Structure 1
């Protein structure tokens, strides 16, 4: 196999990353087999290949990279790196790459996820010739596909509205919108338009639909931009299989569908005959390889999508923990309860990651230290002798056996309200065949109280954060609001500098952005909003805001059952305070799998593990 690339990449070629080594390869495919393979020089996880094409027309394929930190684009060509442009604004995301103006040069179609603007960069080789805003479109509309549907030499756009289910074509004339018109609506948002291809050999593009829950497949046979016939296939495909490519892989005149199993890496393609699939196994194993891209002329960059209401979406623990150790997403297991199922937490437990060795500080109203679901996981300061009135470990706190009260300045962390006990149970309730089971049920719970006897939240939060960091906490749960101050910001920065992850509630005011201290999640830690059991974004949640640097994710935050004082349980809890401990638990699972993760790595992995909520 070749170690460098020298041929022209074809639409059938694949880019894949190895789970075990982190290596990224380009695979040249012909007649359903690998005919060449090149190792791509990727060492920085923030860099992503978004296209392989002969941009400078020298007979060799060049790489187009995207740096996700500042939205820079670079070319790699003949051993050189050439800077194309830096946007800085991460709201702009690549939608498609193709020849929109019929000059045989690639162009880049962008979408601003905050404003809804659509922009086109027209390239001349490796330089930007011009850039223009084509239109501003409501953010509910998403580009579902780009093809030359009417066979006039121009790439056309197919839009789908993610709430109403409307579908609209933009018929293009070069880089100009000639007209737009609607086709049949599909109101059920769980039907997703996966891609398009000529599945019946009539040299016209057909649309490939898949139902997210049932796996049912439907093909719309198109006549240009009109629906000629809809065909429901008898095969329902399990959600662990993902479409990775649509192309004529076996070169028989009709497009085939390439699938990859997300856990095993197994490859399978469907040979299509008159829009009916004939299953056939790909004759090359892709174990440990995750396919990233296909049909580069229509490639959508796989960058986490940010929504100014719901942020990056609902965290998938099975993906996040697998990514933490460089593995494929974990295989699905039998359901347990709806909240942990939504986040794929049982898949992580099945691999043996349960939060062991990780201490989570819950800075709140105190907890019930005698609760049967919590007492076995309490953090204990082993350097302190209980009850002797001496600061044995010389950390400035006398007899802090199980944490500290930063309101009353003593070691009383018993609850002033049920809030802290409820939060703690979601994180670390024991798996003991009664009550509930916490997300990280083998982690250690460090209680830190910031309330007085009247349940007034008046303790020194900045000092409480520093105490947690200095005494070994790796995760800090902050299901609270607090007034901003330089001391608070410095404490959050201190935690981040020590690779301690602060997880903070967005709060429940229905505002356009998180409250403090969650608002600091543009720099430090994670902020959490809430969804219900139907994956709907909860209207009480403060929104994520316009800045995609805000590391805002979602977790269950309605109809929650959890622990309360008095060694009992209560259902019906709601709020971002309840969503936040789910994410704290997932972070503990990640760190129990890989204790060497940095603050920045945890934040990035979490947003890359997300799936969309219904907003």
Structure 2
């Protein structure tokens, strides 16, 4: 995402500027076409042709969704029991005018939480008054344990905040330099497209022109391009530099700032009461729904309409539950979002978010148990830290804090799928370099590099992340729940994991790059495959009783 910005830095003081050309629909393709996609085209053409499924609601707990997007608007859930805009809770579910979902990080006046702290910052802030100026030698044994946590949180917060501010101080003058250099180059050459010959003809010794010439030359050489559009390239460079600055600014100003608390001013809930349910507003888009819109498109972008791209699943309605700010989501909101989804008819919940610390895991566990009890499948992104989730925490997860009495077997939800990210690149780089993994904690891998999907304002974009891999699996699950409605959530999970595309290959393990069998990176050892899953579903007897009015149209 920051390829232009990195080129600029390297040229000033070599990497490819553009991603390798990858088909926009690679996630749908079959291995016979050269990609470990989910074989969606093959499944629809050979197994699901002339069949109709029932409508499925998939909840997207995320930053918000652009519900008016040209390739999504027909597939947005509508709460038929609520009358829009009348200010009344018509369906008496506790949420007024929740037409398309709910926003748990908004205020009753329509305002939003955007920038937010990280969980580690909140934990540090909660202990700061108690331990900031104490003599640790005078503490009780119990308090010494808590003090050790406090010092750990403090170090992480202050180190990362200082680092973010230092990076911001470096990037801001570079942004000015970029603008000056490219503006000077544009004035010097006055052509729409620039080639190496055009650049070599520049004789000026002006510093800005020389910088612009050097940067553009490097770009052309790395791409092997004959020429590139100057204004378009400049705009992308500026955009990526702005994104870089935004990232550092948010970290310094919000995420690692223990004095920042937008929630208290905006949401105005009783944050100490984790069981409080009814707060927020009905704006399911929020100030920046790009991430959630991309996730929603992967699952449910309108299929076969010759617009943009196709989602994995037909017959899906997206319920948008805004819970994830530009910082860490809060456990209370996650728990309430899960319960809202379950209570309002979702069959699948996608959760493309995560964090390394948890404020109140028990309240999330209770919500997960509620979903599990009510036959709702939870699909969660494994994370993008290149770490082993068997050894390091990633929240939320499918391991309950409370495991029962004495020698009782460890209990986990039956219908939870943890998803790692797969690259489109064959061979040893097949596992995404950033993806978390775990032979016990990550269930499956799915396309998660250069995934093309919907973003805001009727646009589309390639994005990477386990955030993209998770909705691929959620989409596959939605197809199964649509066409095979007697399957219970736990059966859908079993089918997905048992029908993977197995990969007998050594790959570079995310994080350290050591060559290991791909099969060791997850419990299933493979990649999600819709074609295989549909075949297995056809042979599986469902355990769920369907009411007469719910029976599918076949």
User: What TM-score range do you get, normalising by the shorter chain?
Assistant: 0.3 to 0.5
Normalized against structure 2, the TM-score is what?
A: 0.47
When you count strand as a share of all residues, which structure comes out higher?
1
Q: Quick check: which has more Rg, 1 or 2?
A: 1
Higher relative contact order (CA 8 A, sep 6+): 2
TM-score (norm 1): 0.43
Q: Which has the higher helix share?
A: 2
